[in-house]
Amino acid sequence: MTKISDIFGKELTVVNVGLTSMAESVADQDVKTVHLDWVPPKEGIRRLRVTKSGVNIDEANQQVVDRIKKALPVLVGMGIARDVIPGMHDRMILHAGPPIEWERMCGPTRGAVMGALIYEGLAKDSAEAEKLAASGGIEYAPCHHHHTVGPMAGIVSPSMPVFIFENKTFGNYAYCTQNEGLGKVLRYGGMGDEVYARLKWMETDLYPTLDRALQSLPDGIDIKSLIAQAMHMGDESHNRNRAGTSLFLRAIAPAMARTCDDRERLAKVIEFIDKNDHFFLNLSMPAGKAALEPAEGIEGSSIVTVMARNGTDFGIRLSGMPDRWFTAPAGEVEGLYFPGFTVKDANPDIGDSTVTETAGYGGFAMAAAPAITQFVGGSPQMAIDSTLEMYEITFDEHPGFTIPVLNFRGTPLGIDVRLVMETGILPKINTGIAHKEPGVGMVGAGILRAPEKCFRDAYDAIAELC
């Protein structure tokens, strides 16, 4: 047991909460002083500690983050969506973010749905696709309801090949499609023959090559380890996946060489992966999903286990209330645009890729990715500050993902809605930007904060329990 006299003779480090002059006085005496950038909590925000049913929220949250930390997501194989994703059927299309009906879907999601229907052969052109999409003959469901995640529009249609992840610690599975690359691609709402041709090639050439290679690897590929390594090579595994893609290629190339007898196809596959810096995104995302699902359903927990956008709504779900979506209108991205495009062309925030931030990497590990720090306003120092700020709203740190520049400190892990509301700091997200009209594709990339409303609503729901 500690005693008051333990502090006697020890070097002081003083945290100052309030008057600046108090901090200055202490600092003048050559004492290490941390002067908080303190602001009063918003009206109606109190400290929530124990629920009426007697659950200590901190303890519940500790269980949640411990489960995420223990997760071991491994890429164990591939399959066709209709065959492997639970609940998937021939007339189902999965999309990113919280649930949404066709009428409210944003442009890029509509474009991607129509594109997927054409790719599936269910419609021959966009007019027919639109009619079918609106007919009620297609069942739409969030990826997150089917252990799946999808970047941007996140469209998964029955014939699409998907990666299969197993969380070796808990035995649960997660799924994600293969990444198409940048530019005019389906997930950004891109439509057109080149989009369908690429998707077809991914189904007929890329998928079998990867699949056969994976079948020859009995232990699969440990993606958690690749994310951790990539973080030491300048990736945060959301908006920068260059190192992760290279590491993945290095891990799978020998197996592909052994299992693919068509040299030209193998070369094309390697080229495709090599030329697509974001190939690894569709591996880092399901790794996060596989890690997060076992952390759902811990009673009383205020930790966010799902954070996703569908281009119309931004939604979160808490571990303590795993079936309830808290939503708010998706935000505008402050971004940098490709030639010929401006903010007027941009669709609101979209995609399941915020699963990375939810699982303790992505934008929250910005300090590890100096090459793309200009998203957060310019300098590597600001990227460090951005990560430091996220520690304010996360319950814990992930010992499996460390940031060299922060002296190998673990990444911010476990967004706690209580901390978000107490500090007023909203999660910082970096993201690609889709054109708001169907059929165009990616137009830029940028950064934004998650909308306050869904965190406020989630906070209020926890507060009701207390």
Partner 1 sequence: MTVKTIIKISEYHDSVSLMLVARELSGLAGVQDAAVVMATEANKSILAEAGLLTDAAKAATANDLVIAVKANREQDAEEALGMVESLFAKKAAEDETADFRPKSIRGAVSSYPSANVAVISVAGRYATDEAWEALTRGLHVLLFSDNVSLEDEIALKRYARDHGLLLMGPGAGTAILNNVALGFANVIPAGNVGIVSAAGTGLQEVSTLVAKNGLGITQGIGTGGRDLKKEVGGIMMLEGLKALQEDTATEVIALVSKPPAPEVVDLILEQVKKSKKPTIVCFMGGDMSKVAEVETAIPARTLQEGGLFAAQAAGAQVGDIKQRIADETEQLKKQASELRKSLKPGQKYLRGLFSGGTLCYEAQVIWREMMDMPVYSNAPLPGEPSLEDSTKSQEHTTVDLGEEEFTVGRPHPMIDNDLRIRRLLQEASDPEVAVIILDVVIGYGAHPDPAAELEAAIVDGRKIAENDGRTIHFVASVTGTEQDPQGLKHTIATLERAGVIVCESNAAAARLTAMIVAR
- Please give the biggest Cα pair distance in the chain: 80
Which tokens belong to 81? Answer: 């969506």
Question: Which residues, other chains included, contact 406 with Cβ-Cβ below 8 Å and sequence gap of 6+?
Answer: 367, 384, 387, 388
Instruction: Please list every residue from 402 through 441 that binds partner 1, using CB under 8 A.
Output: 419, 422-423, 425
Stretch that binds partner 1, among 74-82, 278-286, 303-311, 366-374 (CB under 8 A): 366-374
Q: What is the distance between the alpha carbons of residues 241 and 238, in angstroms, rounded to a whole number?
A: 7
| Residues 287/73, Cβ–Cβ less than 8 Å | yes
Residue choice 169, 225, 229, 374 for contact with partner 1 (CB under 8 A): 374
Q: Which two tokens stand for residue 300?
A: 């009383």
Q: How far apart are CA 29 and CA 43, in angstroms?
A: 37
What gap in Å lies between CA 464 and CA 461, rounded to an integer? Answer: 5
Among 63, 389, 449, 452, binds partner 1 (CB under 8 A): 389
Q: Do the beta carbons of residue 331 and residue 125 sit within 8 Å?
A: no
CB 394 within 8 A of CB 415: yes
Tell me: does residue 444 bind partner 1 (CB under 8 A). Answer: yes
Interface with partner 1 in residues 332-351 (CB under 8 A): 336-340
Instruction: Pick between residue 3 and residue 263 the one whose CB is nearest to partner 1.
Output: 3
Task: Select 43 or 103, whichever has its Cβ closest to partner 1.
Answer: 43
* Interaction between residue 385 and partner 1 (CB under 8 A): yes
Please give the full DSSP string across 362-390, using - where no structure is assigned: GGGGGGG-GGGGGGGTS-HHHHHHHHHHH
CA dihedral 189, 445, 354, 290 (to 10 degrees): 70
Compute the distance between CA of residue 432 and CA of residue 434 in angstroms, rounded to an integer.
7
Closer to partner 1 at the Cβ: 114 or 390? 390
Q: Does 197 bind partner 1 (CB under 8 A)?
A: no
264 binds partner 1 (CB under 8 A): no
Binding to partner 1 (CB under 8 A) within 202-261 occurs at: none
17 or 197: CB nearest partner 1: 17
For strands 92-95 and 139-142, give the pairing: parallel
# chain residues binding partner 1, by CB under 8 A: 69
Shortest distance, position 433 Cβ to partner 1, whole Å: 11
Per CB under 8 A, the segment of 299-307, 348-356, 372-380, 458-466 that binds partner 1 is: 372-380
Nearer of residues 36 and 197 to partner 1, judged by Cβ: 36
**Closer to partner 1 by Cβ: residue 143 or 433:** 433
Q: Is 23 in the site for partner 1 (CB under 8 A)?
A: yes
Tell me the per-residue interface mask from 47 to 86 with partner 1, x by CB under 8 A, - otherwise. x---------------------------------------
Structure tokens at 5: 């006299």
Among 272, 314, 364, 391, binds partner 1 (CB under 8 A): 391
- Nearer residue to partner 1 within complex by CB, 133 or 368: 368
Give the Cα separation of 260 and 77 in Å (integer): 16
Least CB distance from residue 446 to partner 1, whole Å? 10
- Figure out which of the listed residues 229, 380, 405, 452 binds partner 1, where binding follows CB under 8 A: 380
What whole-number distance in Å separates Cα of residue 153 and Cα of residue 189?
7
Q: Retrieve residue 98's tokens.
A: 């919280």
- Determine the Cα–Cα distance for residues 245 and 16; give it in Å rounded to an integer: 44
Return the structure tokens found at 179. Answer: 């990444």
For binding to partner 1 (CB under 8 A), which residues are involved?
Answer: 1-19, 21-23, 25-26, 28-29, 31-32, 34-41, 46-47, 181-183, 336-340, 371-375, 378-382, 384-385, 388-389, 391-392, 397, 419, 422-423, 425, 444-445
